[in-house]
Amino acid sequence: MPSYTVKVKWNKETFTNVAVNTDESVEDFKVQLFSLSGVPIERQKIMCAGKTLKDDEWNIPLKNGAVILLLGTSEALVDAPTEKTKFIEDMNENEIAQAAQVPAGLVNLGNTCYLNAVVQCLKSVPELRESLKLFKNEAGFSGPQSMTLAVKGVFDQMERNATVTPIMLLQTLHNVFPQFAQTGEKGTYRQQDANECWVELMKMLQQKIPMIQNENSKSTYPSFIEQYFGGTFDCEMKCTEAENEEVTKSKENFLQLSCFINQEVKYMHSGLRLRLNEQITKRSPTLERDAIYIKQSLISRLPAYLTINFVRFQYKGKEGINAKVLKDIKFPLEFDAFDLCTPELQQKLIPMREKFKELEDKAAEEKQVKMKGEKVEEKKTRALPYSFEEDLGSNNSGFYTLQAVLTHQGRSSSSGHYVGWVKSKDQWYKFDDDYVTPVSSDDILRLSGGGDWPIAYILLYGSKICEVPIEEESSQMSID
């Protein structure tokens, strides 16, 4: 494998011990120079011994210790406007997307679509964006700190640019989690499991982003992630072979719900219920041997943001891959978690659910009035809190609205292609790396599976917002 160590001179700076691998593409080397200097790839001119490096060929003389000259500025060039006003009918697709303020896409740096899709989905959470803006660098170095700063950095870039090259985020991910830096025979990065990446990123953010405080909240959480993404199960374990053995009770925390898939499961809801009623084998203290237990779980705390993972991959030892279950599993745009909850939590959810019902009835009445040709007065509204007053970051109704989907196309988790689908300002967008296009809600529902096309792998639901007329503010009921 031809590999050299060179010096790179740029402006007044010199970068030493820069690795050059001519088995990789010239573009890969330019990405490396971008991470060192900040000079965008399209503005780089690279010279060595009087020769200019071509875009698609290693045509410069290379040897260990060679000096490479990098020309280009890391600052955006500001020129006087020279073009006349361009109308939308004269624009190409990219120009139309920019004019329409389409959200930023992320460049694929070589099988990094899994990371791009995860970032796009997590960025859909406004409270997470705001918490990251407040996060400040600390003295010292740690994996969670560098990973949190990297996510913050790429979120900031996405707010300012139409397309972002997430090189620093990728390098940080590779440093903190070397398993994601694995390469294939040709030196290119291997595809990785998006859900594994999601889980690891959340663990890092979990350690660094503090919980949000308010004057009414009585709950305390280790971090923002548990506060807004974390739920709690109340669990009961009963031995089926020893009637007299005492039922054991416990609590378990979760950051994701698993939707199990078998021949009978056709809908997400039934897949979730499978997770709540499990048959397991463990040692019985009464029988002094392994016995079968039934574990029943119900949710006693619903988070503001509910993450659902479709368990679509099953490990096949012979092939050494996580083979994919392609079965069509329907999921809703609006999800009600009420019947997955404990009776105690259900009682707490009822007041806000009644408020939703009251507003739905009013909307139905107004629709009837409009159908008769009568005018209905438009009223200003305000959003009611979606959390319990004493538990900021919870869900107080059980109602959720789908806001992001991460899909996979292919036959194993370590191959194929990942895409993020995110709802922004009432419009769904498909984030296929740096290619961003608007799509419809019908397109989202078609991601339920059944063949070799993009299939939902992770769903992110946000609490449904209750909008009430402002005139009701003074008479608003208290939601406990």
Among the ranges given (107-121, 161-175, 207-221, 326-340), the one the predictor scored with the smallest mean pLDDT:
207-221
Give the residue-averaged pLDDT of 59-64. 90
Instruction: Tell me the pLDDT tens digit for each residue of 327-375.
Output: 999 999 999 999 999 999 999 999 999 999 999 998 888 888 777 777 7
Residue 70 pLDDT exceeds 70:
yes
Model pLDDT, residue 373: 78
Residue 394 pLDDT exceeds 60:
yes
Listed residue (331, 355, 335) closest to 447, CA to CA:
331
The amino acid sitting at 242 is: A
Model pLDDT, residue 76: 45
470/398: higher pLDDT: 398
Max CA-CA distance within the chain?
87
Among the ranges given (51-55, 197-201, 214-218), the one the predictor scored with the smallest mean pLDDT:
214-218
354/319: higher pLDDT: 354
Residue 95 pLDDT exceeds 80:
no
What distance in Å separates the CA atoms of residue 458 and residue 463, rounded to the nearest whole number? 17
Which residues fall within 8 angstroms of residue 474, CB to CB, at 6 or more apart? none
What distance in Å separates the CA atoms of residue 58 and residue 295, rounded to the nearest whole number? 62
Which is catalytic among the residues 121, 408, 417, 466?
Answer: 417
Q: pLDDT category, 81, cuts 50, 70, 90?
A: very low
What distance in Å separates the CA atoms of residue 260 and residue 54, rounded to the nearest whole number? 51
414/267: higher pLDDT: 267
174 is catalytic: no
276/18: higher pLDDT: 276
Among the ranges given (75-79, 232-236, 328-332, 444-448), the one the predictor scored with the smallest mean pLDDT:
75-79
Give the residue-averaged pLDDT of 93-119. 81
Residue 459 pLDDT exceeds 70:
yes
Model pLDDT, residue 78: 38
Residue 315 pLDDT exceeds 80:
no
Residue percentage of the chain with pLDDT more than 70: 90
336/214: higher pLDDT: 336
Structural domains for the chain: 1-74 (3.10.20.90)
Q: Are 106 and 157 in contact (CB under 8 A)?
A: no
Which is catalytic among the residues 113, 259, 341, 466?
Answer: 113
239 is catalytic: no
Cα 115 to Cα 195, 337, 419, 433, distances in angstroms: 10, 29, 10, 9
Q: Are 383 and 466 in contact (CB under 8 A)?
A: yes
- Beta-strand relationship, 163-164 and 105-106: parallel
Secondary structure letter of residue 182 according to DSSP: -
Model pLDDT, residue 176: 94
Model pLDDT, residue 328: 93
Residue 321 pLDDT exceeds 80:
no
What distance in Å separates the CA atoms of residue 443 and residue 477, rounded to the nearest whole number? 38
Across the chain, mean pLDDT equals 87
| Exposure string for 82-101, b = 16+ CB within 10 A, e = fewer | eeeeeeeeeeeeeeebeeee
Instruction: Tell me the pLDDT tens digit for each residue of 409-418.
Output: 987 777 889 9
Give the residue-averaged pLDDT of 435-462. 94
Which residues fall within 8 angstroms of residue 265, CB to CB, at 6 or more apart? 259, 271, 274, 327, 329
What distance in Å separates the CA atoms of residue 337 and residue 320, rounded to the nearest whole number? 36
